[in-house]
Structure 1
């Protein structure tokens, strides 16, 4: 009923503002809203559902690592290629986060709910806190990516709405103040999956503080989530990213999709060509190279590493995260086959998954396993009930570890947080001697965060906020240069799936040359928004 109620209310609003659609179609004056009469608690709840609409987007979460060194998008019209190759501009922004529609809905809700009487005042406070969390998250998101955006009000005219950008610090303070005020009013448990509760409010506080290097605040928020005793690591890492794992108590918040009602079609775009997919979102060799060997050493340090067989003896999360050549795979016909993304031909026939063949084949020779395996969990890969994760408990442990290390250096609390994550997948505990300084432990935490959360949309923000020893953004190092794939062949006579792919050491095939300039720290504000509001100033470099 909530979904239906929102649709009916939205239709009524749309009908009432048809004559001024151009007026509302602008940014930031797409924040404008008509006066609406609210009469009941039911009206308020219906409009709150509207605030959730498009607040989070599963497509964006799954595509977002393509803007980093560990992901690749092959099709420019899908709007993520330019984020990876540095060709962003004011007229070619690619996928954009500059959008005030959700904030407008939240402002409208918060203005109108003042006059609505609830039978239980705590219910009203919780509903208000949910909407304020959504608004705070949107401001945090835009502020991080653009470096200051207008903090908008409800306006009566287009001229009033032509407001300048607030500074990054002003928006950050607004977000912090909002979160500190609303979190106490949130319930411990959400009314239903996908709704905001206290864990989500604290997770937004944690992530925003970590992204802005306010480590004490990030640590406090992470500890508060840990002390709730509501969330924990799921013993089955792989299952987290399947339909079966959607209700795991590791998940703090995920975007909700329902097969045959509001399905997530991007899952189909992620499968490789032979499985009827497009290979739109694929992992890269850079990610593969980050996985430790199963002895806890990097591939550069371990005697276990053989460049001829790079998939052998790796951190188990490699196989849990990506699909690689040589492994057994249940294809779209539900047949078990040997996955081959290396050979141009198989038994004399063209290989549908050969990277240099059709455009829908993965150009990196790799695909994601997260959300894709097993394939038979979906009746239709273009209409799925997959629910991409926004926040989960592993991120809490990693955020705590990073913040505590930056504040105080190595400690048992940091090691124990990392060990929980590593032991869960069968990796050895952290070598305290090897990673005994703030600097060496920082290196491990960054690698662990990348490996654990790969494919979940957080890597680009991390390489923008992390600095190297010279104070430069890590993105300046990892996002400049050639993106390449491995080459080799699949040996069908080999029984060991980790040795079936025989790689030519040091021989790579170029995919694209990537570029990242310091000014790419912030995204360009769309030129169309500046044209409508001349008081908006473009970010430097665009």
Structure 2
């Protein structure tokens, strides 16, 4: 009886409540924000913008996204049998997990920004309007940033700048030129809402916006816009060339005068495994990501001449008298890596271990381990030995995505392409080459446009190595079809062989080596043979799943 009375009472109460207020049961969640009320205050806007920044943590094929591109270029290789390795071989298709991932991740980030710009406008009247414009400006910058990459990778892409209903979801591709117009227009507007610099590291600033304008305009041959943005940033005096090249890519880089923006990591929140990918087996790494002989040989000698022309180059001591940036970028045989001398020739069964001031001979894992460096080289850039041994697989070192050196090279290239070969072009090149830790010979004035074009392109490969630019450079210069196909080579590494090439390769004006005329070139390790189809591979395939769910999309040629 008591149960029946309780049941009747409960039903009666519910009927009474519903008759009084039909919306009573339409309650908003009490334990999380609701889309109905979100952006009620400044804190919620800050949370939403932080959510967009978090998309910069995207990792793919074991690498932080912006670093991963160069492992499919002529500067790098991914040892894993992965979708990234397939891209390097020119075997990608519409189901490739690596190329598909960028589409979904970047549009997810864009959707977060669209949610902010579509739903937060009323908040501007409830908080400091300048702070509102700054926060939304940061989000709009990131939307433009992701769209710039989508357009470079896929060409024409849907340009969606507001939240869509289900009925609006069938969205066709927008011409790449229109997407770039939008990106540059957005950037030129939001730069007015942002300070030149901030104390809170990792946030977008006006300097970051100018750096991206210079990059995007350069990628799309809008030379005047690129040079103008780069000059505005350089003239601001906010950033200076760092005398310590290698320090920019360690924990110390947070305080570098050259760094404009870094992706922020924090142990316990988000980390990355770059040290694990790059370090040797003896240093607890996996040597997953590595470089070919091509990248090593592009570095000049300290007299400013390529290795096939410099009298300072000795084929039997190939790493002596070289541009210091070679050692800052690359772990070469005979150099120290953490506590060991890095040796990779198969006959080097022992190596040196450093124990304080003492050195002892120990077995050399790198010489014979099946998963050690196949090419005989490793990347040094982006790795700080402070992560060894505890945090090799979980580093919270921040990673640089914008710095003054790139902006200066953007300026130089844009000026050269406009055939404005004034002293400012030589100045920026020589400022980069003349930094205290590098001190390469100056580039003398009086060069032709073609000569300076090749100098700038070679300098980009040397200065910006493994920072995520080479993959895009060889495509926008339309030389990928020349530098990608063929064998990916490592050092001479056969038992009983001397270990080095008998003579230097021929180096073309852009720094690309050719090994055809070397008598013992057949002794070089070949880790992969790549192909590149110029009628197809300058663009990525639109993901198959996107074509099936959005029938307004069309596929790129050849896929």
Hey, what does 2:491 align to over in structure 1? 486
- Secondary structure at the aligned position of 1:63 is classed as helix
User: Would the alpha carbon gap of residues 190 and 55 (structure 1) be closer, same or farther in structure 2, given more than 3 Å must change?
Assistant: same
Tell me by how many angstroms 1:267 deviates.
2.3
Matches within 5 A, 1:447-466: 447-466=458-477
- Secondary structure at the aligned position of 1:389 is classed as strand
Tell me by how many angstroms 1:159 deviates.
3.5
Hey, what does 2:223 align to over in structure 1? 215
Matches within 5 A, 1:87-126: 87-95=91-99, 96-99=101-104, 100-116=107-123, 117-126=125-134
Name which of structure 1's ranges 259-268 and 94-103 shifts more when overlaid on structure 2. Answer: 259-268
- Secondary structure at the aligned position of 1:252 is classed as strand
Is 1:511 equivalent to 2:527 in the alignment?
yes
Contact map agreement 1:84 1:514 (CA 8 A) in 2: yes
1:432-464 Cα distance to aligned partner (Å, 9 max, x none) = 26x711101111111111111111111000000
Hey, what does 1:368 align to over in structure 2? 379
Tell me by how many angstroms 1:406 deviates.
1.1
User: Would the alpha carbon gap of residues 353 and 93 (structure 1) be closer, same or farther in structure 2, given more than 3 Å must change?
Assistant: same
1:114-136 Cα distance to aligned partner (Å, 9 max, x none) = 01134422111111111110111
Contact map agreement 1:86 1:516 (CA 8 A) in 2: yes
Name which of structure 1's ranges 270-279 and 226-235 shifts more when overlaid on structure 2. Answer: 270-279
Picking from 164, 175, 178, the partner of 2:186 is 178
Tell me by how many angstroms 1:280 deviates.
1.5
Q: TM (normalized to structure 2)?
A: 0.83
User: Would the alpha carbon gap of residues 36 and 475 (structure 1) be closer, same or farther in structure 2, given more than 3 Å must change?
Assistant: farther
1:256-293 Cα distance to aligned partner (Å, 9 max, x none) = 11234322223212212222211121122111111000
Matches within 5 A, 1:142-181: 142-155=150-163, 157-181=165-189
Hey, what does 2:209 align to over in structure 1? 201
Contact map agreement 1:61 1:388 (CA 8 A) in 2: no
Q: TM (normalized to structure 1)?
A: 0.86
- Secondary structure at the aligned position of 2:168 is classed as coil
- Secondary structure at the aligned position of 1:204 is classed as helix
Is 1:477 equivalent to 2:489 in the alignment?
no
Contact map agreement 2:283 2:338 (CA 8 A) in 1: no
Q: CA separation in 1, counterparts of 2:557 and 2:30?
A: 38
User: Would the alpha carbon gap of residues 378 and 158 (structure 1) be closer, same or farther in structure 2, given more than 3 Å must change?
Assistant: farther
Name which of structure 1's ranges 363-372 and 182-191 shifts more when overlaid on structure 2. Answer: 182-191
Q: CA separation in 1, counterparts of 2:178 and 2:438?
A: 45
Hey, what does 2:425 align to over in structure 1? 414
Is there any run of 5+ residues in structure 1 with no aligned partner, and where? Answer: 1-8, 17-33, 332-336, 467-472, 492-500
Hey, what does 1:379 align to over in structure 2? 390
Tell me by how many angstroms 1:180 deviates.
1.5
Hey, what does 1:352 align to over in structure 2? 365
- Which of the pair has more CA radius of gyration? 2
- Secondary structure at the aligned position of 1:503 is classed as coil
Tell me by how many angstroms 1:185 deviates.
1.2
User: Would the alpha carbon gap of residues 490 and 274 (structure 1) be closer, same or farther in structure 2, given more than 3 Å must change?
Assistant: farther
User: Would the alpha carbon gap of residues 410 and 120 (structure 1) be closer, same or farther in structure 2, given more than 3 Å must change?
Assistant: same
1:124-155 Cα distance to aligned partner (Å, 9 max, x none) = 11111111101111111101111011112545
Hey, what does 1:536 align to over in structure 2? 553
Q: CA separation in 2, counterparts of 1:39 and 1:191?
A: 27
Q: CA separation in 1, counterparts of 2:219 and 2:57?
A: 18
Q: CA separation in 2, counterparts of 1:462 and 1:11?
A: 48
Q: CA separation in 1, counterparts of 2:416 and 2:327?
A: 29
Tell me by how many angstroms 1:163 deviates.
0.8
1:454-501 Cα distance to aligned partner (Å, 9 max, x none) = 1111100000011xxxxxx1111100111111115899xxxxxxxxx9
Is 1:188 equivalent to 2:196 in the alignment?
yes
Q: CA separation in 2, counterparts of 1:157 and 1:128?
A: 22
- Secondary structure at the aligned position of 1:53 is classed as helix
Hey, what does 1:497 align to over in structure 2? none
Tell me by how many angstroms 1:379 deviates.
3.5
Tell me by how many angstroms 1:329 deviates.
2.8
Is 1:48 equivalent to 2:49 in the alignment?
yes
1:165-217 Cα distance to aligned partner (Å, 9 max, x none) = 11111111111211121111112223511111101111111110010011100
Contact map agreement 1:85 1:516 (CA 8 A) in 2: yes
Matches within 5 A, 1:130-149: 130-149=138-157
Q: CA separation in 2, counterparts of 1:194 and 1:322?
A: 27
Tell me by how many angstroms 1:389 deviates.
0.8
Matches within 5 A, 1:407-446: 407-424=418-435, 425-432=437-444, 436-446=447-457
Tell me by how many angstroms 1:55 deviates.
3.3
Hey, what does 1:73 align to over in structure 2? 78
Q: CA separation in 1, counterparts of 2:128 and 2:416?
A: 43
Hey, what does 1:527 align to over in structure 2? 544
Tell me by how many angstroms 1:38 deviates.
2.4
Hey, what does 1:470 align to over in structure 2? none
Q: CA separation in 1, counterparts of 2:152 and 2:312?
A: 41
Q: CA separation in 2, counterparts of 1:35 and 1:407?
A: 52
- Secondary structure at the aligned position of 1:217 is classed as helix
- Secondary structure at the aligned position of 2:418 is classed as helix
Q: CA separation in 2, counterparts of 1:160 and 1:376?
A: 48
Hey, what does 1:273 align to over in structure 2? 281
Name which of structure 1's ranges 404-413 and 295-304 shifts more when overlaid on structure 2. Answer: 404-413
- Secondary structure at the aligned position of 2:526 is classed as strand
User: Would the alpha carbon gap of residues 124 and 347 (structure 1) be closer, same or farther in structure 2, given more than 3 Å must change?
Assistant: closer
User: Would the alpha carbon gap of residues 362 and 347 (structure 1) be closer, same or farther in structure 2, given more than 3 Å must change?
Assistant: closer
Hey, what does 1:23 align to over in structure 2? none
Name which of structure 1's ranges 281-290 and 267-276 shifts more when overlaid on structure 2. Answer: 267-276
Q: CA separation in 1, counterparts of 2:448 and 2:228?
A: 22
Contact map agreement 2:274 2:382 (CA 8 A) in 1: no
